[in-house]
Amino acid sequence: MIRGNSIQLSDHFTFKKLFRFVIAPICTMIFTSIYGIVDGFFVSNYVGNTAFASLNLVMPYIMMVASVGFMFGTGGNALVSLHLGLDEKQKAKEYFSLIVYTLIGIGVVLAVVSIFLAPGISKLLGASEAMLPYCVLYLRINMIGIVFFMLQNLFQSFLITAEKPRIGFAITLIAGCTNMLLDWILVGICSLGIAGAAWATVTSQIVGGIVPFVYFVVSKSSILKLTGTKFEVKVIAKTCGNGVSEFLSNVSASIVGFLYNLQLMRYVGENGVSAYGVIMYVSFVFVAIYIGYSMGVAPIIGFNYGSGNKSELQNIFRKSVGILTITNILMFVLDESLTVPMAKIFVGYNQALNELTIRGMRIYSIAFLVMGFNIFASAFFTALSNGRVSAILSVIRTLILQLIMIYLLPMLLDVDGLWAVVIAVEGISLIVTIYYILKNRKNYGYMK
């Protein structure tokens, strides 16, 4: 039997049991987003607006590189969950190990290349002469820990598949506290500036990547373990195919982040980049809830798809739609309520920047009314091993519509158009999502 925290993937999930199973990954993602925000808080308040804008300028590139870990984690998770559902446990362990080892190799190559090209990357992102030293320094230090960050992202998915989500949350908690404590010491007390913030992040990523690696090596209770394996191109290809939507989502988000920053520099200047950074920090926390829920239910979906249990697949889908409907409304209300205090925490020292941030956040928050459905749908098809549909949904939502709206809406609404881009994108994406959900319902049996 496959067990973890008294809940099996093969169980029938009531609302209570589903909540118990997904609460750890949700908390993990929320806490991950919160401790990622701490760098921005300390840099903004202790170093200044230029350094804060520089951090936000290079962050999309860092997240783009790290997204390889998300791709291997979500795509590999779907493949491994499928074989667990087929009761092929040894094959699941071997595939899991191959995915981990391959990711390490890819991560090292990307880190070395990024360190070498850091000045050129920073200029390409639009760094001014004043911002360039900050950008290069923060980017290079972060690349030292990028492999561990990739592993941290990957292991969070697999700890859920191994039915150890609480261990995943504990690891994130330890890594997050490490980051926040070191930010306070290195930036707040020792005045090491943006370098101190970067080293705090890297140290936390090392903790977040090494601890689960060791766990999967020595654990005797986990259904997944790191073992000897052989390289199989088809396994890596299938992993990338399954997870390509999550990879494209992150890469697209990074590309859009680049373009947002360029447009904001054009329309507003440094203040625009800083305001956008604050909006993204706040939205990361709310989006983390959707991502955490999707990560939590993905192994259940993959397992029941593999075992052919359509009635439970219908149960999970139906409950997910209800949960997300309520969550969307709560996220909108909460974001509207937190707009003023959150803006004050980050940029309260600059009245013009503070007002710009508040207006942007109030417009942006409307998108939360539908965003959860779109994020879940992409993860849902990934869990069903349908990388094609998942990729289509992701590319349309996170790239194509964004590219159109990011240039169209500012021409119509000026700066407000940049904040409203996400509303138009999520609204149109919901229509596309509904179309693919209805189109594929008979193929997978998740709707009666």
Identify the pLDDT of residue 185. Answer: 93
Q: What is the CA radius of gyration of the chain?
A: 21
Could you tell me which residue, 42 or 2, shows the higher pLDDT? 42
**Residue position matching structure tokens 């362990």:** 93
Identify the pLDDT of residue 146. Answer: 92
Mean pLDDT across 49-62:
81
pLDDT at 320 over 60: yes
CB burial readout 179-198, b (16+ within 10 A) else e: bbebbbebbeeeebbbbbbb
d(C-alpha 179, C-alpha 41), whole Å: 12
Q: Read off the pLDDT of residues 385-427 as tens digits, 9 standing for 90 and up.
A: 787 888 889 888 888 898 899 889 988 888 888 889 999 999 9
Identify the pLDDT of residue 5. Answer: 46
Identify the pLDDT of residue 6. Answer: 60
CA dihedral over 22, 24, 29, 33, signed as positive or negative? positive
Question: Using the 8-state DSSP alphabet, how is residue 221 labeled?
Answer: S
Identify the pLDDT of residue 332. Answer: 93
Lookup: tokens for 289: 């809830």
Quickly count: other Cβ atoms within 10 Å of residue 341's Cβ.
Answer: 9
**Residue position matching structure tokens 């259940």:** 300
Nearest to 109 by CA among 68, 80, 161: 68
| Confidence class for position 35, pLDDT limits 50, 70, 90 | low
Could you tell me which residue, 371 or 269, shows the higher pLDDT? 371
Identify the pLDDT of residue 3. Answer: 41
d(C-alpha 371, C-alpha 288), whole Å: 12
Could you tell me which residue, 333 or 385, shows the higher pLDDT? 333
For residue 340, which amino acid is it?
V
> Can you tell me whether residue 23 is helix, strand or coil?
helix
d(C-alpha 134, C-alpha 124), whole Å: 15
CA 345 to chain centre: 23
Identify the pLDDT of residue 103. Answer: 92
Identify the pLDDT of residue 148. Answer: 94
Q: Read off the pLDDT of residues 219-256 as tens digits, 9 standing for 90 and up.
A: 777 778 888 888 888 888 888 777 776 677 777 777 77
Across all residues in the chain, what is the average pLDDT? Answer: 84
Could you tell me which residue, 315 or 270, shows the higher pLDDT? 315
pLDDT at 81 over 90: no
| Confidence class for position 199, pLDDT limits 50, 70, 90 | very high
Question: Using the 8-state DSSP alphabet, how is residue 86 labeled?
Answer: T
Identify the pLDDT of residue 245. Answer: 67
Contacts of 168 (CB under 8 A, 6+ apart): 24, 25, 28, 155, 156, 159, 160, 212
pLDDT at 98 over 80: yes
Nearest to 25 by CA among 377, 342, 299, 260: 299
pLDDT at 382 over 50: yes
User: What pTM does this model have?
Assistant: 0.70
Task: Write the CA distances from 326 to 15, 339, 363, integer angstroms.
Answer: 13, 20, 20
Identify the pLDDT of residue 87. Answer: 74
Instruction: Note whether 101 and 229 are within 8 A (CB).
Output: yes
Identify the pLDDT of residue 323. Answer: 94
d(C-alpha 294, C-alpha 319), whole Å: 12
Q: C-alpha dihedral over 284, 202, 105, 163, to 10 degrees?
A: -60
Name the least confident of 67-71, 364-368, 419-423. 67-71
**Residue position matching structure tokens 């360190």:** 115
Mean pLDDT across 247-275:
77
Q: Read off the pLDDT of residues 281-315 as tens digits, 9 standing for 90 and up.
A: 778 788 889 988 988 888 888 888 877 888 888 99
pLDDT at 2 over 50: no
d(C-alpha 240, C-alpha 76), whole Å: 8
Mean pLDDT across 100-118:
93
Mean pLDDT across 186-198:
89
| Confidence class for position 36, pLDDT limits 50, 70, 90 | low
d(C-alpha 421, C-alpha 194), whole Å: 30
Lookup: tokens for 223: 């259904």
Mean pLDDT across 9-16:
80
Q: Angle between the 132-144 and 49-85 helix axes, to the nearest 10 degrees?
A: 30
d(C-alpha 300, C-alpha 306), whole Å: 10
Identify the pLDDT of residue 4. Answer: 40
